[in-house]
A and B are shown apart, each in its own frame.
Chain A
Amino acid sequence: MIRKEISKISEVGKALISVEGNPGVALNHVVELLNADTNQSLSFAKAINVNENFTRFQVFNGTQGLSTQTKIRMHEVPLTAGFSHNMLGRSFDGVGDVADGGPEVIFEKQVSTRLDTLNPTVRLVPKQPMWTGIPMIDVFNTLVKSQKIPIFAGPTEPYNRLLSQIAQGAQVDIIIFAGIGLKFDEYHYFKEQLSQSGNIDKTIMFTHLAGDSQIKGLMLPDVALSVAREFADEGKDVLVLLTDMTNWSNILRNVANYQDQIPSLQGYPGSLYSELARRYEVAADVEGAGSITIIGATTLESLEDPVPDNTGYITEGQFFLEKGKLKLARSLSRLKQQVNGSTRGDHRPIMTAMSSLLADAEKAHEAAEVGAANDVFSKKLLRYREDFIANMEEPFGEPIQLEAALDKCWDILRRHFEPSETGLSKKLIDEYWNK
């Protein structure tokens, strides 16, 4: 097939190029950039702004080395991702090219990366728990199949370790790893962990390392999620790990700035919410098909930063990691109520009672720092808080089954309180306090 070629690049910027006039390229269609002398392929690019006076492209491999002489070859299709079952166990870059030095993958088909919205009517209301063996998740913020939930953590927290631990225990058919702006050792860590746990054969890794082309990082979630959707359409339960979406948002910010878009908060484009939502909303349990669960990582300095803030409004809760502990106060699984009513009868009430006591304990802790909180009950609360942090907020211990974790909750309450101080109903106290 002969493809139309043009060669009049008028502007080369960071990650973007423009040509004068419009060569007949449609919005979001892909072109290939070629060395004018050797015809060697340099990169692909996507048309993001189509105008009768100019056409602007995002260049996948970056713009270093491009010149006004560079040739543009039109492909007249939007970006697609290659899909094949042979992708399992392999690593790819942000646009789906093989990145592990192994043999080329023969794709079975090309799939759209447009991430069309799933019709809400084919969604199932999520009702199946995904147990992790981590009490702070299983008891207090139960994870549910098809949930979309990020780990919020400072940049130095072990969020990737937590992500990898959850992934290894997850009851799923396929794991899609989508890493954006990773350091090499992070990539290596995941690969090692997945290999050691025997999960690598059901895993596909899409990786963008810090310093790689920004546009490839920007595309990566769409490519990874499109491949995930193909597996889900086949009936598979898929877990997608998106780390780190703050890196991704920062690329989005950079590219918006290169395009002179008016920033809203801290330089991020006004569309940050919609852009994040389009990716996270791919998580779904679909009638007559499989499911996609998304666990992300969002690094932050402050919860009020635009990325975690917007993410919080999009995702179905968040796991908040601080000083290596999963903090109860700021963690939330919005879907837990769908599943924790059909576990053991004390699950919900003890979760509520312990949370409420911990909130009081945090207040007592603050008071204690200024010398207050000397009364008997405050002292009980302070001891309870210590116990809770050590035994309930620790995510990296041995996995604990739900029932054992609930029993452990009663042990903690019993160690510090009288039954009436817990706010639990008399019926539950009678059933469990002296068990």
Chain B
Amino acid sequence: MGNDNKRRSATLISIQDSLVRARFRDNVIMGETAEITVDGKLLQAEVLQIYPDPKNPDAGIVEMQVFEDLTGAQIGDLVEFKGTPLSVLLGPGLLTSIWDGLQNPLYKLGEQGAYLVPGMKAPALDEEKLWDFTPSVKVGDEVKGGDTIGSVPEGRLDHKILVPFSFGRCKVERIVEKKSLNITEVVAVVVDEQKVRHELKLVFRQPVKSPIPFKERIIPSKTISTGVRVIDLLAPVGYGGTVGNPGPFGAGKTVLQHSLCKYALADIIIMAACGERAGEAVEVFKDFAELDDPSTGESLMNRMCIFGNTSSMPVAAREASVFIALSVGEYYRYQGYNVILLADSTSRWAQALRERSGRQGDIPGPEAFPMDIPDQIKGMYQRAGADAGTGGSLTFIGTVSPAGGNFQEPVTQATMDATGGFWGLSQDRADAKKYPAIDPLAYTSSVYDSFIPWADRQKILQTLNEADGIDQTISTIGLKKVPVDKYVLYQKGQTIDFCVMQQDGFQKVDACTRPDRLNIINQAVQKLIDSPIAFPKNGMEDEELKESIKTKFDGLRQWWRDWNSNATSEEQIAVLPEKIEQFILQEEYAL
């Protein structure tokens, strides 16, 4: 380890884009952070590689990525090593925060000017805000990393104050009484087994690449109500699960993410806007603040925090932003909360790694991504999970932006391999404005439970599959050759697709479907699938009969869509299965 008392430094010998090399003489630690002084401003960097100096046997060369624009950097500029890896500040005040990719609060930076310029920094959490601390340990108690020493209320959450995870066994030497204090004040003093005293505050720093441990990791078992019917019926995700959500541009990834932000039931939603459009993050924190949290009725922002490392911000910080967001998610999971992390987009994260490895001159893998990209992606998703020991969970939903919309590309493939669920968005469905454009047939997979029985789920999929097959037959050989009974099946499939799989996000009622309503819809769907329908022939030729069948289904679909957007009371909702019953019997019914 480096000598704590001595400042360790180096001088720049090479600068290109965000990659620099520097010559050092004493010692450098792999992965540690450093500050480079450029034009009097301190820029943050991270050590990537260390190797010998061909020019000087007494020196070494360190390669670093710099998280800020290096314009003006010169040979000989000073590098100072910090001794600690890239880390995140954890503690009360995380919720409702909006940061850049390195946890600088954007509103605070905004006070320094409209543009983000290199060297701009601000404390990650509000240092003045007072928190009502209640201790839960007393002098003489033994504590270790991860143990609770007290708590503060954070909004409606009970935010536990933890001993930093890196700590071994310690004894409490001092603990403050119940009082209001800010995050810079000392709340406790503990003494470790080497008799070293440590001051604890409401906050501590956690290295972002060291996962916060589980107490008792379990397989996700409880299904999340996302409010999106196609997901909750056919591709559900459990608390603590992982989902990859790939789609070509324009297929609706962002709209789906926004919908999850608004309607998915969870204690906390973390949004890592990684290398995506700034406007989309802005929409979330400016417009969503006025929306209600579906569980509490408070402002939606009260359950959120946002990392806005958008596409024009420094590329090197993209990697950091996802890991920082993961650490925050793990921290709240450890506190016993259900957290959903939405990372948009993991492809931009992977591209940042690609840019960096290209500059470092690594031998490229497929499409020039680093050879180990599948392992890195797997490692990232593995940090999600459910914890029976704390009762908390971290669900990781990552969007993927495949080049050319081609799901065979390396990042999509690695994501399919790494995740438990897969929501593939289809260009064809998006082109046809069938939203959400998750293709229930081609790309849906899920290992999680759903709100409806497994057999029902399979039956819906089978019907959609058969209807799709008939659709292709109609397209290739024409409607004439399709028997009437098959045509009815096709119309059933069309109805399920149009009225159940598709959802109108702009209709207040239709935008979000909860499990009770979903169950009634499923009853109706199962009834529709199971029952033969005796359409009166009335002496019609086949073609004419099919036309009349289509007209009847058109009527049903129009009615059902109206039901989707209008039925709110229990009686109105209960009408759906009755309506289907009548339709099956072909009784006269009022449109």
Contacts and interface: CB of A to CB of B under 8 A. Distances in A.
B475 A367 contact: yes
B282 A123 contact: yes
Nearest to B98: A121
Contacts of A126: 279
**Leading 6 A-B pairs by shortest Cβ distance:** A359-B432, A277-B311, A304-B404, A312-B249, A372-B478, A281-B312
Interface stretch (A100-108, A181-189, A420-428): A420-428
Contact of A309 (B279, B404, B478): B404
A51 B13 contact: yes
Given A49-B16, A50-B75, A281 B311 contact: yes
Given A273-B275, A352-B433, A373-B479, 9 more contacts: A27-B73, A51-B13, A78-B71, A119-B106, A120-B282, A120-B310, A332-B250, A377-B547, A425-B558
A330 to B, nearest CB: 7
A374 B480 contact: yes
B572 interface: no
Interface stretch (A4-12, A129-137, A262-270, A399-407): A262-270
- Give the interface size class of chain B: 35 or more
B557 A423 contact: yes
Contacts of A117: 115-116, 278, 310, 312-313
A153 interface: no
Contact of A371 (B72, B401, B478): B478
A26 B72 contact: yes
A59 to B, nearest CB: 17
Given A125-B283, A281-B277, A119 B110 contact: yes
Nearest to B352: A274
B358 A359 contact: no
Given A366-B475, A420-B555, A116 B115 contact: yes
Contacts of B551: 418, 420
B80 interface: no
Nearest to A76: B72
B547 A118 contact: no
B306 to A, nearest CB: 9
A28 B15 CA distance: 10
A57 B31 CA distance: 31
B527 interface: no
A50 B476 contact: no
Given A277-B312, A341-B506, A374-B480, A425 B279 contact: no
Contacts of B540: none
A318 B543 CA distance: 41
A356 interface: yes
B282 A355 contact: no
B15 A29 contact: no
A27 B15 contact: yes
Interface in B93-139: 98, 106-107, 109-110, 113-117
18 contacts: A29-B71, A117-B310, A118-B114, A120-B285, A262-B361, A264-B354, A264-B368, A274-B312, A314-B311, A316-B279, A317-B250, A329-B431, A352-B433, A367-B475, A372-B474, A372-B476, A377-B550, A426-B591
A194 interface: no
A52 interface: yes
A271 interface: yes
Nearest to A272: B351
A96 B59 CA distance: 45
Interface in B286-316: 286-287, 308, 310-313, 315
Contact of A270 (B249, B354, B547): B354
B431 A330 contact: yes
B308 A120 contact: yes
B82 interface: no
Given A28-B71, A314-B277, A355-B432, A49 B15 contact: yes
Interface string A296-321: 00000001101001101110111000
A370 interface: yes
B562 A375 contact: no
Contact of B73 (A50, A261, A376): A50
Given A27-B71, A28-B71, A375 B479 contact: yes
A388 to B, nearest CB: 14
B158 interface: no
Nearest to A317: B250
- Give the interface size class of chain A: 35 or more
B70 interface: yes
B1 interface: no
Interface of A: 22, 24-29, 48-52, 78, 114-126, 261-265, 269-271, 273-274, 277-278, 281-282, 284, 286, 289, 303-304, 306, 309-310, 312-314, 316-318, 329-330, 332, 334-335, 337, 341, 348, 352, 355-356, 359-360, 363, 366-367, 370-378, 418, 420-421, 423-426
Q: Is the interface of A mostly helix, strand, loop or mixed?
A: mixed
B310 A337 contact: no
Contacts of A374: 478-480
B381 to A, nearest CB: 21
B279 A123 contact: yes
B261 to A, nearest CB: 15
Contacts of A29: 71-72
B477 interface: yes
Given A52-B75, A123-B282, A375-B543, A359 B15 contact: no
A28 B315 CA distance: 17
A402 to B, nearest CB: 18
Contacts of B17: 271
Given A125-B286, A372-B476, A278 B434 contact: no
Interface in B352-381: 354-355, 358, 361, 364, 367-368
A378 B543 CA distance: 12
A375 B481 CA distance: 11
B73 A26 contact: yes
A289 B113 CA distance: 13
B202 interface: no
Contacts of B249: 309, 312-313
A141 to B, nearest CB: 11
A335 B283 CA distance: 11
Contacts of A330: 250, 431
B479 A270 contact: no
B281 interface: yes
B358 A51 contact: no
Given A115-B312, A337-B506, A375 B368 contact: no
Contacts of B403: 265, 304, 306, 309-310
Given A78-B71, A126-B279, A309-B403, A262 B480 contact: no
A429 to B, nearest CB: 9
A78 B311 CA distance: 23
Nearest to B318: A274
Given A27-B73, A78-B71, A262-B364, A356 B432 contact: yes
